[in-house]
Chains A and B, each alone.
Chain A
Amino acid sequence: MSMLEQLNRYGGWPSNTPCPYDWDELIQEDRVHRLIYTDPQIFTAEMTHIFAGTWVYLAHESQIPNNNDYMTLRLGMRPIILTRDSDGELRALYNRCTHRGTTLCRFEKGSAKSFQCPYHGWTFRNNGKLSGVPWPDGYAGDFSDPKFNLAQVSRVASYRGFIFGTLNADAPSLVDWLGPIATPIDEWIDRHPGGKFRVCEANRLMYKGNWKLAYDNSADGYHVVFSHRSLLETENRLMAPNEKGMSYYKTKPDEQPMYVAYMGNGHHFKDKRPNLPKRVGGLWALESAHPGKEHYEEKFRAKYGARADEFLDLAGSEPVNINVFPNLSLLGNHIQVIEPLSVNETNTTWYGTAVVDDDNVLDGAVDDINALRMRTQEGFPNFGEVDDLSNFEEIQHGLEAIEDEWVYMHRGLGIPGRVKTHDNGVITAPATDEVFMREYIKEWKRLMKHPPNLHVRREP
């Protein structure tokens, strides 16, 4: 039995033994066991069951816009070269030479038609095919066997520019797997002229805590006024009370039109848009102080008149948290990627996005919109996220108390009429409800219970 067959049969456990855990004991209706955040064995299994066993976000197409462009990243722990090959096909190549396992490409991004291993000079085309081996007459056989071509993620697909990969042959199509969460993703994309935007560097953060602590948080409306109290006070330092930023959380958030939703397949969504005035400029009206705010606002009003609010809204932060299990969140204008490093270390990278206006439908305003939009995006990572990450670290610390086993996520559970299930399977609840956590962790449990059908592919 190959190691990969073993992984598929036994579910990714480090030893060749059945799973030692009773998942129904660890994941209960109202609470989860601390071990899912602290156990290195569970983390190792997640790297196959979740980060390979389901679709995982890799990157946005604007990061590799041209043929031969590449970037290096990881799928779970697997080192990957994500490239748009010479024929334009998106490929996620394993970044390890088939000869001795050496990291083939050591750069974070670039453009290359082929990759030559720095160790013994084996060379691979960017479709993964071995194209040359130094002094081949020293080998008894030839190199026509596909096993010498680079391993690749067996399924790579893009949804409107968002590139995902999975090794699981049994996973549904990307579109089917996204399901209802595709609707807010579409709305998020289509608020940009022509549906176009590009990734433009990132606020890159890390914390010493399990990756799920970030995903647990990403639709949590309960923490906002507490974890982000310093941000809310700062946003309103020069303003009247309860005016700017997320200050609408301050008074009875559950009675407001915003809501949280579970969207199926682990995805969840917090939609704050219903809290905003329904008019062009309603988004901008909520923005707190940002560098250049008054200058650009006055410039737009003087130069563009009635269109100024439309342009300012493009610089404003879209009030949604669109969370695609397990590692992608569209938060405001950011594309946030959760990258597990170990059971208790995680990168959260907040990629900025800029408006693209190739057809000049913005009447020459795109550069000014982006100059303002860059600064609005820097606010939350600097003044908000750092406090969340500290709280995640303190959860990880707290969970070292081994006899105190449980973590609760039962807010809203058992209150008649509070949680609603809709015809398309979407579940909605008031903004501070934890139903999204209870539901996504069921999907996590389903994936952890059933060994995925993992395959790599190689060029023939």
Chain B
Amino acid sequence: MSQPLTHDPHKTSHYISDELYRDVIAMFTDWQGDDRLVADPAERERFRMLIEKEARLLDQDNLEAWLSMFTPECVYWLPTTPNAGDPRREITISFDDRRRLEDRVYRLRTGYAWSQAPKSRTVRMVTNVEVFTTAEPGARMVRSNFLISEFRGSSTRWLNGWCGYRFVEQPGGPWLIQARQLNLIDCDQNLRNPSIVL
């Protein structure tokens, strides 16, 4: 995932490969150890602000700006089981690459996505942000909890769970999301109208 790009990930999906699946599974295995917990308040604040910004962009339906928080070759993974499982062998709620994330946004913008006509209104609360070091100095893993209140069709419901992120530092630039794993606490149960970007 850190090689120079030879293909345009907005248009073709060359980077979703065995290597990527192995990398992503490894990233999200045994990463939340106390020995890797970052105590430095400034660094913790950096990632808390990024996660709060993400929540704001999603709540404001600014999906294009939200997409720009990801690396060009990114993964957004919603497992169907609480232990995440192996996305090569199991169906996920979604395992989006860059192009499919853009498809997701494009579909919601067509005006014909009936499951979002009218659109949901959401407010997200994100808490319990913890930052963990990785083997690479320019990469951090971050965990946060979320509660999404979603209003649609005269009623409000709550979606909740926790998120794992891998942020990577860009040369001279911001930290971007390389991989995001969103774990609904009821990910293995039947879910009504999961059509917003979670």
Interface residues in chain A, defined as those with a beta carbon under 8 Å from any beta carbon in chain B = 108, 200-208, 227, 229-231, 233-234, 237-238, 289-296, 298-299, 339, 347-352, 354, 367-368, 370-371, 374-375, 377-378, 382-383, 386-387, 389-391, 393
Q: Using CB atoms, name the residue of chain A closest to B105.
A: A234
Contact B112 A229 (CB under 8 A): yes
* Mask: chain B, 17-51; 1 = CB below 8 Å from A; 0 = not: 11001000000000000000000000000000000
Closest 10 CB pairs of A and B: A352-B91, A292-B16, A229-B112, A291-B97, A386-B115, A206-B190, A371-B88, A230-B113, A230-B112, A204-B190
B134 within 8 A of A: no
- Most A Cβ at <10 Å: residue of B85, B108, B113, B114: B114
Contact B92 A389 (CB under 8 A): no
Inter-chain CA distance A402–B18, complex, in Å, is 56
A354-B89, A371-B18 are contacts. A389–B115 as well, Cβ < 8 Å?
Answer: yes
Name the distance in Å between A91's Cβ and chain B's nearest Cβ: 24
Inter-chain CA distance A274–B89, complex, in Å, is 30
Contact B95 A295 (CB under 8 A): no
Name the distance in Å between B116's Cβ and chain A's nearest Cβ: 8
Name the distance in Å between B3's Cβ and chain A's nearest Cβ: 13
A349-B190, A371-B18 are contacts. A291–B112 as well, Cβ < 8 Å?
Answer: no
Inter-chain CA distance A384–B104, complex, in Å, is 11
Contact B91 A377 (CB under 8 A): yes
* Mask: chain B, 158-176; 1 = CB below 8 Å from A; 0 = not: 0000000000000000000
Tell me the B52-108 residues at the A interface (CB within 8 Å): 80-81, 85, 87-97, 99-100, 103-104, 106-108
B: interface residue count bin? 35 or more
Interface residues in chain B, defined as those with a beta carbon under 8 Å from any beta carbon in chain A = 7, 11-18, 21, 80-81, 85, 87-97, 99-100, 103-104, 106-108, 110-115, 188-195
Contact A382 B104 (CB under 8 A): yes
Give how many A-B residue pairs fall within 8 Å (CB-CB). Answer: 145
Contact B95 A387 (CB under 8 A): no
Write out the residue numbers on chain B whose beta carbons fall within 8 Å of the beta carbon of A298.
14
Contact B113 A371 (CB under 8 A): no
Inter-chain CA distance A382–B98, complex, in Å, is 15
Write out the residue numbers on chain A whose beta carbons fall within 8 Å of the beta carbon of B100.
289-291
Write out the residue numbers on chain A whose beta carbons fall within 8 Å of the beta carbon of B93.
203, 378, 382
Contact of A234 among B17, B106, B192 (CB under 8 A): B106
Inter-chain CA distance A378–B92, complex, in Å, is 7
Inter-chain CA distance A67–B117, complex, in Å, is 48
Inter-chain CA distance A391–B117, complex, in Å, is 11
Name the distance in Å between A355's Cβ and chain B's nearest Cβ: 11
Contact A201 B90 (CB under 8 A): yes
